[in-house]
Amino acid sequence: MLSTPTQLLRLSQGQLNLLEACPRKFQHTYLEQLNTPADPEHEERQTLGSRFHLLMQQREMGLPIDSFLQADTQLQSWMAGFAEAAPEILKPAPDDQTFRESEHYRTLQVQDYLLTVIYDLLIADSQQAQILDWKTYPKPQNKSKLEKNWQTRLYMYVLAETSVYLPEQISMTYWFVQSQGKPQNIKFTYSTAQHQQTAKKLHQLLSQLGNWLKGHKTNLLLPQVPEGRKICDYCQFAVKCDRLQTAAGDGILATEGAIATNSLPNLDNIQEVSL
């Protein structure tokens, strides 16, 4: 008998964040792929952020970046600020024992999921492995919130699981290029205890997702967060979820543009990877 290939669902840190915040929102966004109307200001910020990432990547690859810098004063000032704040990061590898790669891509299979991470820059030598991430917004006040974000947890977890580095040799640093004055950073170290904690949390979340997806095949909806949660006030699916009351009460109107369809989710819409 021929065996059928296992279908893995690809999951990123953003999808894990959404799943943890509200499974129903995950359903609407990733399973149903309901689109919200684009916010032009947000799009513009995203484009500028992508251009900075591209610039850093080109620089790392040894490609010329002067013409980009001359054409864009914002990029020029971010780059100048970053070069002053963290010159050591922009220096080429001191020897051939140091590995440096921008947009470094890794995957890890856990249960029926393919966890995917992309590091803006990975610098690794015989002692340690540093994950670096560029953010084109000011440094946030709340460090612990960033620590709990799945980007921090998943990025270090995947590296520890897919390399020879012990958790204690791994770190992750966010650089916020648009901070007041000069670029600022937040660095997280890692430990075996944190690694075990993340493993436990990840397995729980993915097992839950597995059950929800099974139910979803029989037209069951993924759970909503309990009523009265603040997340609903800012959610574009508040109308669809009948949570508009709460949202309007706070003077925030949910967008109806997302309510494109009442059809039940289609699993075919999720990006899948065949083994």
State the residues that interact with ligand SF4 by CB under 6 A: 22, 24-25, 28, 224-225, 231-232, 235, 237-238, 241, 243
Cβ closest to ligand SF4, residue 139 vs residue 240: 240
Contacts of 222 (CB under 8 A, 6+ apart): 23, 24, 26, 27, 31, 212, 215, 216
Q: Rounded to the nearest whole angstrom, what is the least distance from the CB of residue 264 to ligand SF4 in the complex?
A: 15
Cβ closest to ligand SF4, residue 28 vs residue 104: 28
Q: Rounded to the nearest whole angstrom, what is the least distance from the CB of residue 145 to ligand SF4 in the complex?
A: 17
Q: How far is CA 157 from CA 11, 81, 167, 262, in A?
A: 14, 30, 8, 37
* Cα 159–Cα 110–Cα 1 angle in degrees, nearest 5: 135
In the chain, which ranges are continuous DSSP H helix? Answer: 13-21, 23-26, 40-60, 66-71, 73-85, 87-90, 143-148, 150-162, 192-217, 230-233, 244-249
Cβ closest to ligand SF4, residue 3 vs residue 263: 263
Q: 């600022």: which residue's tokens?
A: 184
Check residue 34 and report its DSSP letter.
Answer: P
Cβ closest to ligand SF4, residue 186 vs residue 239: 239
Cβ closest to ligand SF4, residue 100 vs residue 229: 229
Q: Rounded to the nearest whole angstrom, what is the least distance from the CB of residue 238 to ligand SF4 in the complex?
A: 4
Q: Rounded to the nearest whole angstrom, what is the least distance from the CB of residue 107 to ligand SF4 in the complex?
A: 28
Q: Rounded to the nearest whole angstrom, what is the least distance from the CB of residue 29 to ligand SF4 in the complex?
A: 9
